[in-house]
Copies of this chain bind each other. A is one copy, B any other.
Amino acid sequence: MTSQSERPEHPEHPEHPERPLRADAERNRAKIMAAAAQVFAAQGLEATLDEVAAAAGVGVGTVYRRFPDKDALIAALFDNAVDEIANLAHAAARRPNSWEALVWFLEEALQRQCSNRGLRDVVVGSTYAVDHMAHAKQRITPSIELLVARAQRDGYLRTDVVGADFPIMEMMISFLGNLTASAAPDLWRRYLTILLDGLVVSRSQPSVLQDFPVDHLVHEALHAEHRRARRAI
């Protein structure tokens, strides 16, 4: 990511990024990235950098020594996540059956999105990593377009949907996934199945739906969510 605005020289982010970090610094950098991924995935972007530092076992100062600000850290994580999903799309494209390729991609991508609240926050309205979104879109869109076109050509997928419908449906489902992540990490699959049953051209009977104690789970999930918001106990 090239710095598009000449950032005022931060004392501890020298103009020679080539010089390798000291061993302990590099170790800490890795610990920070891992911890941040964990914390932001679990709590979303409102998580404090203090929390991230604590999870990484370092001080906040150390975090700020590696990343100029919260946004930079989040942007780095976001780029990683985008990479991963872009790779999934490519991998899917190499599958023989075009319907299974599409389904496989959706399942894999959603597995990531549903367990990553931070990802949702970036996509949906946070102020973080705003300028990385466009790049992510460019990166992923064409692959999805391809998967969709093939599934339609082969007569599996209804022809009145377009590539752009898929990110939307993914957002819908991953929203639910985030909500129920703690109570029932796989509940979203139930609704993906229903949605897929709505996306095939025709069918004579429903696909099998994974069973869940739905009523109970919803109660649990919302309760957990309310506790989360209350920020204590």
Give residues in A with beta carbon < 8 Å to B.
123-127, 130, 133, 158, 160-165, 167-169, 171-173, 175-176, 179, 187, 190-191, 193-199, 201-206, 208-209, 214-215, 218, 222, 225-226, 228-230
Contacts and interface: CB of A to CB of B under 8 A. Distances in A.
Contacts of A230: 127
Number of copies: 2
Give the interface SS of chain A, mostly helix, strand, loop or mixed: helix
A168 B199 contact: no
A222 B164 contact: no
Contacts of A168: 176, 187, 191, 214, 218
A171 B180 CA distance: 12
A173 B225 CA distance: 19
A202 to B, nearest CB: 5
A15 to B, nearest CB: 30
Contact of A197 (B124, B162, B176, B197): B197
A43 to B, nearest CB: 12
B126 A229 contact: yes
A145 to B, nearest CB: 10
Given A173-B172, A203-B203, A194 B225 contact: no
Given A222-B123, A222-B124, A228-B125, A169 B191 contact: yes
Contacts of A187: 168
B125 A215 contact: no
A83 B190 CA distance: 29
